[in-house]
Amino acid sequence: MDKEEFSRIRELYGEEDVIPAHSFDNHVLEVYRNAKKLLEDEDVDSEVVKYSALLHDVGRHISGEESHAEKGAEKANEFLIEQLGKDSSFAERVSECIRFHSNRPHLKPPTREAEILWTADKMDAMGATGLCRFLLTLGAKNYSCESAVDILDRRVSEAEESLKDFGFDELIDGLNTLKSFTEQYKEENHVSN
C-alpha cells in the first residue's frame, strides 16, 4: 500500500461524529499494527488483512441501526474498486473480513484472514488501554455503567472462546484486566452472575 492509498483511506473515515477513544488514530491504526504483528506467523494473503484492518470500521458512522460491519463491508468494497482500482475478487476478500469482524451478529469468520482481523480488532480492547477505550466509547453513546459491564462481560467470554478456536491461546491472558474489572464491579454493586 502506498502513501497515497493510505491517506485516501484515512480521509474516508471523515471527521464527523468521531468518538476520540475510537478514532482512526486511536483505534484503527492500532488494529493495523496488531494485524501486522499477527501476520508475522501466518501464511495468508497479507494484503487482504492489511487493507481490511485499515478499512474495518469505515461503516461506524453510517450504519444507523444496521450492523456497522455490514455497512463497512459494502463501503470498503465500493471504495477499493471505484477509488483504488482494485479487482473485484480482492475487494470481495477484504470486505468479507470486514463483514465478520464484529461481535454482532455472532458469525464465525469464514477465512483465516477474517480470523486475523477479528483478533487484531479484539486485541485493541484488551488490557487497561483497551478497557479505557471500551468504556469511553460506550460512555459517548450514553450507555449506563450496568449495560457497559454487561456487554463487556459477554465480550470477554466470546473473545476467550474465539481466541481458542482461532489458535491464539497465548492472547487470552490479555483478557485478565477486563475480567477482574467486571468481577470487582459486580462485587461492589452486588450483581449476581
Q: Which residues bind Fe ion (CB under 5 A)?
A: 57, 121
Between 104 and 190, whose beta carbon lies closer to Fe ion? 104
Between 23 and 177, whose beta carbon lies closer to Fe ion? 23
Between 174 and 185, whose beta carbon lies closer to Fe ion? 174
Shortest spacing between CB 65 and Fe ion, in angstroms:
15
Q: State which amino acid sits at residue 2.
A: D
Residue 173 carries which DSSP code? G
Shortest spacing between CB 59 and Fe ion, in angstroms:
8
Between 57 and 113, whose beta carbon lies closer to Fe ion? 57
Shortest spacing between CB 28 and Fe ion, in angstroms:
7
Shortest spacing between CB 20 and Fe ion, in angstroms:
14
Q: What's the gap between Cα 130 and its chain centre?
A: 11
Residue 142 CA to residue 30 CA, distance in Å, equals: 24
Shortest spacing between CB 134 and Fe ion, in angstroms:
11
Between 57 and 153, whose beta carbon lies closer to Fe ion? 57
